[in-house]
């Protein structure tokens, strides 16, 4: 009987060990949402990140990318990160600013002089670390990096944009970005907030007469099918936050956290190498699809929108941050 009892004890211990091992090895599924389609550079970057994490976390984490607004629009993604229904997301700085106003500094019109200036700003710790700290404190969301996609241009349905006054009264779709809304109010347009997934039909049915975005986003969403004119206004660069729920991040082992951090650093490097070329290629493809491309003089545009700098700085206490960005050489 003693032998039987001892065998039973050993068997129980073995089964308990298997259960514990199974629990420890249980995979955490990380949902990464983006509003962009599969063939957009940012979705491709997200897939690259997922592959790296899946390989390095040794089964602890499985990253699954959900493109094309499958997990909702950008506001939905931000709320999901806070509620825990989404673990990661790519969200534009403008929409982030509805939750963390200070991040709207990256939405200021013409705040980035060119691609080189943009690259340097996104690699300036005094700027990005400060925004990361504010975002974490105010929203409970960790910023793993700031991604590039391209300078934003304007796409219109019925008439080209040649001079500043062509914006007057133009019903133009904009994202939920207070700075961008104010920017187009200052040029006397009629900015209209419409979710990304509804832009195509809004252009098609005349709900709006134009929209503005990056050239990769415009091309991959095929907006050229329902609009005819591009104006190279380059009024804003679409900087996108690469975000993770802090609560989820802290639930992971140190090894898994490091796998995520390292994969994010490498993904940002890839994004910075690719974004400029991808934006130019998309612009060239769009030019071949539309009726006309114009390059209006942006100096009057820049002058008209200057009030937004003081207004935004006063509202968010970011005058020094703006100066730091402008001082980067």
Poorest-pLDDT segment among 9-13, 136-140, 177-181:
9-13
Kindly state the average pLDDT of the residues 32-37: 96
* pLDDT tens-digit readout, 166-214: 999 999 999 999 999 999 999 999 999 999 999 999 999 999 999 999 9
For helices 254-289 and 41-56, the axis angle rounded to 10 degrees is 160
Largest CA distance in the chain: 97
265: alpha, beta or left? (left if phi > 0; alpha if psi -120 to 50) = alpha
Please, what are the domains in the chain?
Answer: 2-149+238-277 (3.40.190.170), 152-237+283-327 (3.40.190.170)
pLDDT at 22 over 70: no
Burial (CB count within 10 angstroms: exposed 0-12, middle 13-18, buried 19+), residue 299: exposed
Share of the chain above pLDDT 90, in %: 90
Q: What is the pLDDT of residue 59?
A: 86
What does the pLDDT read at residue 17? 46
Q: Kindly indicate the confidence band of residue 18, based on its pLDDT and cuts at 50, 70 and 90.
A: very low
On whether the pTM is more than 0.95, the answer is no
Rounded CA separation 288/290 (Å): 6
CA of residue 318 relative to chain centroid, distance: 21
pLDDT tops 80 at residue 226: yes
């Amino acid at each position: 009987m003693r032998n039987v009892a001892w065998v039973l004890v050993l068997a129980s211990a073995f089964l308990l060990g298997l259960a514990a091992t199974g629990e420890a090895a249980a995979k955490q599924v990380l949902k990464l949402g983006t509003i962009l389609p599969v063939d957009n550079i940012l979705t491709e970057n997200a897939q690259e990140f997922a592959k790296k994490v899946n390989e390095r976390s040794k089964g602890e984490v499985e990253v699954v990318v959900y493109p094309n607004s499958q997990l909702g629009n950008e506001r939905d993604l931000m709320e999901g990160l806070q509620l825990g229904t989404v673990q990661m997301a790519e969200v534009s700085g403008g929409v982030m600013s509805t939750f963390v106003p200070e991040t709207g500094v990256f939405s200021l019109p013409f705040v980035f002089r060119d691609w080189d200036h943009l690259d340097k700003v996104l690699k300036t710790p005094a700027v990005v670390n400060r925004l990361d700290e504010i975002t974490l404190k105010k929203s409970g969301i960790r910023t793993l990096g700031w991604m590039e996609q391209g300078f934003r241009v304007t796409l219109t349905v019925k008439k080209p944009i040649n001079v500043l006054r062509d914006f007057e009264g133009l019903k133009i779709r904009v994202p939920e970005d207070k700075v961008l809304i104010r920017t187009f109010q200052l040029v006397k347009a009629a900015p209209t907030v419409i979710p990304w997934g509804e832009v195509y039909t809004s252009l098609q049915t005349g709900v709006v007469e134009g929209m503005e975005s990056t050239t990769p986003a415009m091309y991959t969403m095929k907006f050229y099918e329902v609009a005819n004119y591009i104006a190279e206004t380059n009024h804003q660069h679409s900087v996108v936050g690469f975000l993770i729920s802090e609560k989820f991040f802290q639930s992971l082992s140190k090894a898994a956290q490091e796998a995520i951090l390292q994969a994010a650093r490498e993904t940002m490097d890839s994004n910075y190498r690719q974004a400029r070329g991808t934006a130019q290629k998309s612009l060239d493809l769009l030019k071949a699809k539309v009726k006309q491309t114009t390059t209006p003089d942006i100096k009057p545009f820049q002058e008209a929108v200057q009030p937004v700098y003081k207004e935004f700085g006063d509202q968010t206490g970011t005058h020094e941050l703006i100066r730091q960005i402008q001082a980067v050489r």
